[in-house]
Amino acid sequence: MDSRIFEQWEANAEDYAVLVDGKGTPHHQKILNPCVERLLGDVQGKRLLDAGCGEGYLSRYYAQRGAVVVGVDISEKMIDICKQRSKEQGSEFFVGDICCLDFIQDSSFDLALCNLVLLNVPCFEEALKGFFRVLRFKGLLVFSVIHPAFNVFGPGRWELGGKCSDSGRRKGLYFVSDNYFDEKEYLIQWKTRVGAPFPKRFSFFHRTIGTYMKVLTRAGFRLIELEEPRPIDDDPFFERERRVPFFLVFKVEKFAR
Ligand SMILES: C[S@@+](CC[C@H](N)C(=O)[O-])C[C@H]1O[C@@H](n2cnc3c(N)ncnc32)[C@H](O)[C@@H]1O
């Protein structure tokens, strides 16, 4: 287990749980989650691994739709919150590192979901090898990251104008990106729901789309769909996200045995 990443998420777990508020942020609800749900397809009766489950709102959502869910997260505090919030459900939650899934049996899952986690993980090739091992043949992995080409937690940022009167959010003038090929770690300070800094900065590992493709192919997956989800409605708040994609979502299949 990477102690530095563990310490970041352990220190930030409670504020993160408040931020997602049992349902995800507006970006999750209006851009990412509908896309992930479509890519996962019918989960009824399927065994689903929620890798890096956080406070577990997606685990609960898919358990309510009939999946048998196992959630794994590196943070003990996050798993405690998960268990408290998921009491009525039969889902199981474990503290564990997705880069070392030795405690999970081979070919024991139909589906793996890794939502906004791989970009926080230094050892993502090990994670993909682990997902390959624990999925059955033809099992599906859906994973999302911040879009690497427009990575606001990496080498990109918006040049901002004044506040938009409709949304209260600053208007995007244009997006600046540079050093795309420089794959490295960025330490990012996030704000909590009340606008205070999180106790610790988060590590974000920038990788190119080419690297994601190479590594997942090398692990034995093949690409089924690649999505750059757009906001589901014309909420003025998402003026920037209608112009430049915020997330990138992969649906891949365990292709080799
Ligand atoms: C941005 S949150 C996403 C949580 C959840 N998937 C969601 O969509 O709400 C990232 C999560 O990944 C977890 N995490 C980071 N590195 C991990 C690792 N190596 N193994 C397991 N979980 C990890 C963090 O503790 C955190 O809960």
Which domains does the chain possess?
A: 3-254 (3.40.50.150)
Residue 199 reports pLDDT greater than 80: yes
* Cα-to-centroid distance, 211 and ligand 1 (Å): 21
pLDDT > 90 fraction of the chain, expressed in percent and rounded: 94
Pocket test for ligand 1, best of 61, 101, 120 (most atoms within 8 A of CB): 120
Shortest-distance atom of ligand 1 to CA 113: 6
Q: Give Cα separations from 151 to 76, 147, 176, 247 (angstroms).
A: 28, 6, 10, 9
Residue 166 reports pLDDT greater than 90: no
| pLDDT score for 127 | 98
Residue 158 reports pLDDT greater than 90: yes
Residue 51 reports pLDDT greater than 90: yes
* Cα-to-centroid distance, 149 and ligand 1 (Å): 22
Nearest CA to ligand 1 atom 10: 117
Q: Is the dihedral of CA 206, 26, 12, 61 positive or negative?
A: negative
* Cα-to-centroid distance, 163 and ligand 1 (Å): 32
* Cα-to-centroid distance, 45 and ligand 1 (Å): 24
Over residues 128-138, mean pLDDT: 98
* Cα-to-centroid distance, 58 and ligand 1 (Å): 12
Residue 225 reports pLDDT greater than 80: yes
* Cα-to-centroid distance, 257 and ligand 1 (Å): 28
What is the rounded CA–CA span in Å between residue 150 and residue 115?
18
Token look-up 């589901």 returns: 232
| pLDDT score for 55 | 96
Q: How confident is the model over 71-130, as pLDDT tens digits?
A: 999 999 999 999 999 887 789 999 999 999 999 999 999 999 999 999 999 999 999 999
Shortest-distance atom of ligand 1 to CA 114: 6
- Residue 156 near residue 175, CB atoms below 8 Å: yes
Nearest CA to ligand 1 atom 12: 52
Q: Give Cα separations from 227 to 127, 144, 248 (angstroms).
A: 21, 9, 6
pLDDT > 70 fraction of the chain, expressed in percent and rounded: 100
Which residues sit with their C-beta closer than 6 Å to ligand 1? Answer: 5, 9, 20, 52-54, 58, 72-75, 78, 97-99, 115-117, 120-121
| pLDDT score for 145 | 98
Question: What is the gyration radius of the CA atoms in the chain, in angstroms?
Answer: 18
* Cα-to-centroid distance, 147 and ligand 1 (Å): 17
**Strand duo 185-188 + 202-205: pairing:** antiparallel
What is the rounded CA–CA span in Å between residue 177 and residue 167?
25
